[in-house]
Protein backbone atom coordinates (compact mmCIF):
# COMPACT_ATOMS: atom_id res chain seq x y z
CA UNK A 1 0.00 0.00 0.00
CA UNK A 2 1.17 3.52 -0.75
CA UNK A 3 1.01 6.33 1.77
CA UNK A 4 -2.37 7.59 2.89
CA UNK A 5 -4.45 9.96 0.80
CA UNK A 6 -5.07 13.32 2.45
CA UNK A 7 -7.02 16.37 1.43
CA UNK A 8 -9.72 18.82 2.28
CA UNK A 9 -11.52 21.98 1.36
CA UNK A 10 -9.92 25.29 0.36
CA UNK A 11 -10.13 26.93 3.79
CA UNK A 12 -9.04 23.87 5.79
CA UNK A 13 -12.22 23.49 7.85
CA UNK A 14 -12.80 20.00 6.39
CA UNK A 15 -9.86 17.58 6.27
CA UNK A 16 -9.69 13.88 5.46
CA UNK A 17 -7.20 11.05 5.56
CA UNK A 18 -7.82 7.74 3.83
CA UNK A 19 -5.65 4.73 4.57
CA UNK A 20 -6.63 2.48 1.67
CA UNK A 21 -6.27 2.32 -2.07
CA UNK A 22 -9.15 3.63 -4.18
CA UNK A 23 -11.62 1.22 -5.75
CA UNK A 24 -11.90 3.31 -8.93
CA UNK A 25 -11.32 6.75 -10.43
CA UNK A 26 -14.38 8.15 -12.20
CA UNK A 27 -14.79 11.01 -14.64
CA UNK A 28 -18.55 11.64 -14.36
CA UNK A 29 -20.42 13.73 -16.94
CA UNK A 30 -23.85 13.55 -15.29
CA UNK A 31 -25.78 16.80 -14.99
CA UNK A 32 -25.48 16.83 -11.19
CA UNK A 33 -21.69 16.47 -11.24
CA UNK A 34 -21.34 19.09 -13.96
CA UNK A 35 -23.40 21.57 -11.97
CA UNK A 36 -21.59 20.88 -8.71
CA UNK A 37 -18.13 21.07 -10.29
CA UNK A 38 -18.89 24.06 -12.48
CA UNK A 39 -17.15 22.16 -15.28
CA UNK A 40 -17.93 19.60 -17.97
CA UNK A 41 -17.39 16.67 -15.58
CA UNK A 42 -16.35 15.85 -12.03
CA UNK A 43 -13.39 13.70 -11.05
CA UNK A 44 -13.94 11.30 -8.14
CA UNK A 45 -11.93 8.63 -6.40
CA UNK A 46 -14.04 6.03 -4.62
CA UNK A 47 -12.56 4.53 -1.45
CA UNK A 48 -13.65 2.16 1.33
CA UNK A 49 -15.57 4.37 3.76
CA UNK A 50 -14.21 2.54 6.79
CA UNK A 51 -10.68 3.67 5.84
CA UNK A 52 -11.64 7.38 5.80
CA UNK A 53 -11.16 9.71 8.75
CA UNK A 54 -12.86 13.07 8.31
CA UNK A 55 -12.30 16.11 10.52
CA UNK A 56 -14.64 19.07 10.54
CA UNK A 57 -18.37 19.38 10.08
CA UNK A 58 -19.57 19.31 6.50
CA UNK A 59 -22.78 20.71 5.17
CA UNK A 60 -24.73 18.02 3.37
CA UNK A 61 -27.51 17.74 0.85
CA UNK A 62 -29.06 14.57 -0.46
CA UNK A 63 -30.50 13.91 -3.87
CA UNK A 64 -31.95 11.03 -5.82
CA UNK A 65 -29.72 9.85 -8.67
CA UNK A 66 -30.98 8.64 -12.03
CA UNK A 67 -30.72 5.11 -10.62
CA UNK A 68 -33.23 5.99 -7.91
CA UNK A 69 -30.53 5.69 -5.23
CA UNK A 70 -29.90 8.51 -2.77
CA UNK A 71 -26.47 10.11 -2.74
CA UNK A 72 -25.40 12.66 -0.16
CA UNK A 73 -22.96 15.36 -1.19
CA UNK A 74 -20.83 16.97 1.51
CA UNK A 75 -19.30 20.41 1.23
CA UNK A 76 -17.53 22.93 3.43
CA UNK A 77 -20.06 25.38 4.89
CA UNK A 78 -17.34 28.05 5.11
CA UNK A 79 -15.73 28.03 1.65
CA UNK A 80 -18.38 26.03 -0.23
CA UNK A 81 -15.99 23.48 -1.74
CA UNK A 82 -17.59 20.06 -2.49
CA UNK A 83 -15.37 17.51 -0.74
CA UNK A 84 -16.99 14.06 -0.67
CA UNK A 85 -20.09 12.03 -1.39
CA UNK A 86 -21.72 8.99 0.23
CA UNK A 87 -24.31 6.58 -1.13
CA UNK A 88 -27.34 5.06 0.60
CA UNK A 89 -27.16 2.06 -1.75
CA UNK A 90 -23.47 1.49 -0.96
CA UNK A 91 -22.71 2.68 2.59
CA UNK A 92 -19.28 0.99 2.45
CA UNK A 93 -18.02 3.55 -0.10
CA UNK A 94 -17.03 7.20 0.01
CA UNK A 95 -16.22 9.28 -3.04
CA UNK A 96 -13.81 12.21 -2.73
CA UNK A 97 -13.30 14.96 -5.27
CA UNK A 98 -9.91 14.51 -6.91
CA UNK A 99 -9.30 18.25 -6.76
CA UNK A 100 -9.51 18.18 -2.95
CA UNK A 101 -6.50 15.86 -2.61
CA UNK A 102 -3.40 17.48 -1.15
CA UNK A 103 -1.58 15.90 -4.09
CA UNK A 104 -4.13 15.78 -6.93
CA UNK A 105 -1.45 14.47 -9.29
CA UNK A 106 -1.98 11.07 -7.63
CA UNK A 107 -5.45 10.82 -9.16
CA UNK A 108 -5.76 8.34 -12.02
CA UNK A 109 -9.14 7.96 -13.74
CA UNK A 110 -10.25 4.46 -14.77
CA UNK A 111 -13.62 5.11 -16.37
CA UNK A 112 -15.95 7.76 -17.78
CA UNK A 113 -19.63 7.68 -16.84
CA UNK A 114 -22.69 9.39 -18.28
CA UNK A 115 -20.89 10.08 -21.55
CA UNK A 116 -24.32 10.44 -23.15
CA UNK A 117 -24.39 13.81 -21.38
CA UNK A 118 -20.77 14.82 -22.07
CA UNK A 119 -20.32 18.28 -23.52
CA UNK A 120 -18.45 18.52 -26.82
CA UNK A 121 -15.93 21.01 -25.41
CA UNK A 122 -15.02 18.86 -22.40
CA UNK A 123 -12.00 16.81 -23.46
CA UNK A 124 -11.33 13.76 -21.28
CA UNK A 125 -9.04 10.86 -22.18
CA UNK A 126 -10.92 9.07 -25.00
CA UNK A 127 -9.04 5.83 -24.24
CA UNK A 128 -10.82 5.36 -20.92
CA UNK A 129 -13.71 2.89 -20.87
CA UNK A 130 -16.89 4.84 -21.57
CA UNK A 131 -20.39 4.23 -20.27
CA UNK A 132 -23.34 6.20 -21.62
CA UNK A 133 -24.96 6.00 -18.19
CA UNK A 134 -23.87 4.38 -14.92
CA UNK A 135 -22.20 1.01 -15.51
CA UNK A 136 -23.77 -2.07 -13.96
CA UNK A 137 -22.20 -3.25 -10.72
CATH of the domain at 60: 3.90.1590.10
Coil/strand/helix, residue 102: coil
Q: What is the pLDDT at residue 106?
A: 95
4 within domain boundaries: no
Q: What is the pLDDT at residue 133?
A: 77
28 within domain boundaries: yes
- The number of distinct structural domains making up the chain is 1
H or E stretch covering 55: strand 52-55
The whole domain housing 92 covers: 12-117
- Rounded CA-CA distance 129/112 in Å is 6
Are 51 and 92 contacting, i.e. CB atoms less than 8 angstroms apart?
Answer: no
Degrees to nearest 5, angle at CA 105 with 132 and 46? 45
65 within domain boundaries: yes
- Rounded CA-CA distance 76/96 in Å is 13
128 within domain boundaries: no
127 within domain boundaries: no
40 within domain boundaries: yes
Q: What is the pLDDT at residue 2?
A: 61
78 within domain boundaries: yes
Q: In the chain, which residues have pLDDT < 70? A: 1-2, 136-137
Q: What is the pLDDT at residue 107?
A: 95
- Rounded CA-CA distance 69/67 in Å is 5
Is the whole-model pTM more than 0.85? yes
2 within domain boundaries: no
Amino acid sequence: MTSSYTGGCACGAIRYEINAEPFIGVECHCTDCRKESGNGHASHWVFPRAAARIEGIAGEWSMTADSGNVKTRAFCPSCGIPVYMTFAANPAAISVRAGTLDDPSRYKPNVRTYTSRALAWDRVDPNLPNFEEMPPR
